[in-house]
Structure 1
Amino acid sequence: MNFSDTPRTTPSAHARRRPMGPHPGIVGAVSLALVIASLLVAAPMGGSPSFGSLAGAPQDQYGTTTQWSAMLLLGSAVPLGILAATLYSHLRGQGFRVPGPAIALFGGIGASSMLMLSALVTWTLSHEAIATDPRLARALELLAQSSGGVAHALGLGLLVAGVAVPGLLGRMLPAPLPWAGLLVAAICEVSVLSLVIAPLGFLTVLGRFAALVWLVVIGFALSRTTGTRTTGSRITTPKETS
C-alpha cells in the first residue's frame, strides 16, 4: 500500500479551512447597532458625553435616560472586543504570521476598554450628587468625551489598519476595501489632533462611525474566505498546497 497517496487531513488543516467562532459581520453589526441605540436614547437630553454633546444640559435631564444610554454604550463594547478577537483568529487561521493581526487585536481591546470607561463615567454622571457639582461634572464629561472619543477612535484605527494591511498584501479582499480601511484608519489616528485643535473634533466622530461600518462590511467579506488560506502574500486553496 502506498501511504504517500493517502489523503492527509489533520484537525489543524481543517481548522485553517473552516475557522470556528462567531460571524464577524454579525458581531460588528451588533456593536454598531448598540452605539446608535445609545445615541438615540441620549438625543432627547442633548446627546452623549462620549460625543462631547452633553455639557451644559439641564440637571433635571440627568437620570434614568443617561443610565440607559450608558448601559447601551457599555454593551456595545463587548461585541467590539469579541469582533477584534474573532478577526485576529480568522487572520491567523488564514496563515498570516505578520504583526498585523496582533496590532488589530491590541487596537480592538484598547477601543473596547476605552468605550467601557466612557460608558461607566457617563453612568456616574447620571447621579444627582455628581451632576449638581458643576466642576466635578465637567471634569467627568471631559473624561467621558476623551475616552469614548479620541482614545476609542485611536484603538479603532489600529484595529482597522491591522486587518486592512494583511487583507491588501494577502489579496484576501477586493483592493478597494483594504484601501478604504487604510483611509479610515488614518482619519482615526489623525483625530488625536482634536485634543489641541478643537475644530478637528469632527474627525473623531467621522472616524468612529466609518471604522465601525467598515468593520461590519469587512466582517461579512472575510467570512467568505474560509475555504482559502494564505501562503506568503498569495491566497492558495487547500488543493494547491497538498
Structure 2
Amino acid sequence: MLTATESGRRPKVGPPLPPIAIATVALFMASLILPTVLAKGATFPSPYGDADIVVGYFQNNPTPVLITALLQFAASIPLVIFTATASVRLNHLGVCVPGPTIGLVGGILSAALLQMSALLTWTLTRPEILEHAELIRVLHDLAFITGGPGFIVPSGLLIAGIAVPGLIAGLLPRWLAWAGLVIAGLAMIALLAIAFPALSILLPIVRFPTLAWLVITAFQLPSKRNSVARKDTP
C-alpha cells in the first residue's frame, strides 16, 4: 500500500494554525472587552481589591460575568486544537526531542485550567451563591488562581515546547524563538504570584504577549521542511 507521500498526496499535518490561533485570541479578548462594555466600564475585580467592591461587582453584573465565563470556556477549545496541531506538525518536521510533548502537555493544562476558571466564574452568576459574600470571595479566589497562575504557567511550557525546537532546528525566525523563550521564562516566574501577591502584575504582562506570540507563530511555523530554509532570510 502506498503512503500519502508515495501516492503524490501531501501528508496531513492537521488544520491550518492561523485561524485556530486567531479564534483563541479573539474569544479570550472578547471575554475581557465585551463584559466591560456591558458592565458600563466596570472591570472584572482583582481578588486583592476591596471586599465590598468584589462582592458588589458580582451581585450587580451577573450577565457580564456569565459572558466572561462563556467566552473563556469557548477560548479553551481552539487552544487545545492549536496545541495538538502544533505538536503533530513539529513531529512531522522531524523534531524528535521532548519539546513537542512538553508543549502538548503545557497547552492541555492551560486549556483545562482556563476551563476550570470559566466554570468557577459561572458559579458566580447563580442567585443562591450571590446571597453569600463569603462564597463569592472563595469562588472568585479560585477562579483567579486557576485562570491566572494556573493558566499562565503551563502556557509557558506550551511556548517553550515550540520555541526551543523552533530555534534549534531553524523552524522559526530567531527573533521569534528567542521572544518565546523570554515569555516562557516570565511565565515560570509568574508562579511566584501564588505566594507573593505583588507579583500578580506579571500575569497580564505575560498573558497578552503569550497570545500575540501564538498568533505570530501560527503564521511562521512551516508545514513542510523545504520552507524552513527561508525563515531567516530577509
Indicate the TM-score class for this superposition, using the shorter chain for normalisation: 0.7 to 0.9
Q: In structure 2, do the counterparts of structure 1 residues 62 and 132 end up closer, same or farther at CA, with 3 Å as the change threshold?
A: farther
1:110 match: secondary structure: helix
Shift of 1:59: 4.8
CA contact (8 A) 2:163 2:172 kept: no
The match for 2:77 is 78
Query: What is the TM-score when the length of structure 2 is the normalising length?
Result: 0.86
The match for 1:196 is 195
Unmatched tracts of structure 1, length 5 or more: 1-8, 238-242
Q: In structure 2, do the counterparts of structure 1 residues 13 and 36 end up closer, same or farther at CA, with 3 Å as the change threshold?
A: farther
Matched, 1:47 2:43: yes
CA contact (8 A) 2:163 2:180 kept: yes
CA contact (8 A) 1:112 1:152 kept: yes
The match for 1:21 is 14
Pairing 1:1-242 to 2, within 5 Å after superposition: 10-11=3-4, 18-44=11-37, 45=39, 46-48=42-44, 55-222=54-221, 225-228=222-225
Q: In structure 2, do the counterparts of structure 1 residues 115 and 157 end up closer, same or farther at CA, with 3 Å as the change threshold?
A: same
Shift of 1:55: 2.4
In 2: Cα distance, 1:186 partner to 1:122 partner:
28
Unmatched tracts of structure 2, length 5 or more: none
Query: What is the TM-score when the length of structure 1 is the normalising length?
Result: 0.84
Q: Which amino acid is the alignment partner of residue 47 of structure 1?
A: T
In 1: Cα distance, 2:201 partner to 2:8 partner:
42
1:205 match: secondary structure: helix
> C-alpha offsets along residues 95-144 of structure 1, whole Å, 9 cap, x if unaligned?
11100000000000000000000001101101121122111110100000
Query: How many equivalent residue pairs?
Result: 223
Q: How many percent of aligned residue pairs carry the same amino acid?
A: 34
1:172 match: secondary structure: coil
CA contact (8 A) 1:191 1:204 kept: yes
In 1: Cα distance, 2:14 partner to 2:36 partner:
35
Between 1:16-25 and 1:74-83, the stretch displaced more is 16-25
Larger radius of gyration: 1
Shift of 1:62: 3.2
In 2: Cα distance, 1:34 partner to 1:181 partner:
22
CA RMSD of aligned residues (A): 2.6
In 2: Cα distance, 1:136 partner to 1:213 partner:
35
The match for 1:5 is none
Structure ranking higher on relative contact order (CA contacts 8 Å, 6+ apart) = 1
Shift of 1:229: 6.5
In 2: Cα distance, 1:162 partner to 1:50 partner:
31
